[in-house]
Structure 1
């Protein structure tokens, strides 16, 4: 049986998830900035710009093991809402213990409850552990479309673009 629970975070959970979000950003080469991370997460949750699920230990609900963050989007072709699973992070000492798959399942259950067309995500081409996890969770690699991005730099901004 799992030794953790997955719950939907709200603004009262900022202090739990902020250190993990900070580590997640560092994994992607960003400078640590806990104050900016707290502000960013607070704005997302208070403004309902995103949905965050966190895995917390059963015995200590103040210990966060991992998180996932979803952003809303739409499919013009299907004329339906979609969710972008933009972030997934599990502390290294809790990987391969079911935390990642539990977070993905919470996102899937939420997507079903909100009656969306699909969940989408992207991961680095060389992030094989994540790819294995996503495929185990039923995600299918897109072979029909290439994905492109155009980074927009704002002078003086430390904004992170994923």
Structure 2
């Protein structure tokens, strides 16, 4: 089952988010900080999260953040996080998360954006298979 997450799902999302962050090299994690982060995103309507389950076991999530397009005068969403536990990969859970997000935002947004590492061939193949296209723009970053 895949569904829109709410405040009652935070305890189920925390371990998934911590695993996701560990994958990206975050070694030291504070569970209270992760919980506060999720709580703030959900209660302040700063992100949309879908969670997917195998029976009652949470196995993955997708999180999107809002942005706006001045050209189209519409909201668009940035797919920032997509994670499925390794033992549940290639079983349709990531596709279910992606489908739930697409369906939810169909009438609510102009579209989606996402960024993935150039070397992440597995993710790139997944996104291509799910209708995503690379665009003609260069993406720049400026971090402190």
Instruction: Say yes or no: TM over 0.5.
Output: yes
Aligned-residue Cα RMSD (Å) equals 1.0
Which residue does 2:30 correspond to in 1? Answer: 33
Does residue 80 of structure 2 align to residue 86 of structure 1?
Answer: yes
Which residue does 2:58 correspond to in 1? Answer: 64
Deviation at residue 65 of structure 1 after TM alignment: 0.6
Deviation at residue 27 of structure 1 after TM alignment: 1.0
The more displaced of 70-79 and 26-35 is 26-35
Q: 2 CA distance for matches of 1:113 and 1:40?
A: 28
| Residue among 19, 36, 43 paired with 2:15 | 19
Deviation at residue 79 of structure 1 after TM alignment: 1.3
Q: 2 CA distance for matches of 1:22 and 1:82?
A: 26
Q: 1 CA distance for matches of 2:23 and 2:63?
A: 16
| Unmatched runs of 5 consecutive residues or more in structure 1 | 153-162
3-state SS, counterpart of residue 36 of structure 1: helix
TM-score, normalisation: structure 1: 0.85
Which residue does 2:143 correspond to in 1? Answer: 151
**Moved >6 Å (runs of 4+):** none
| Count of residues in correspondence between the two structures | 143
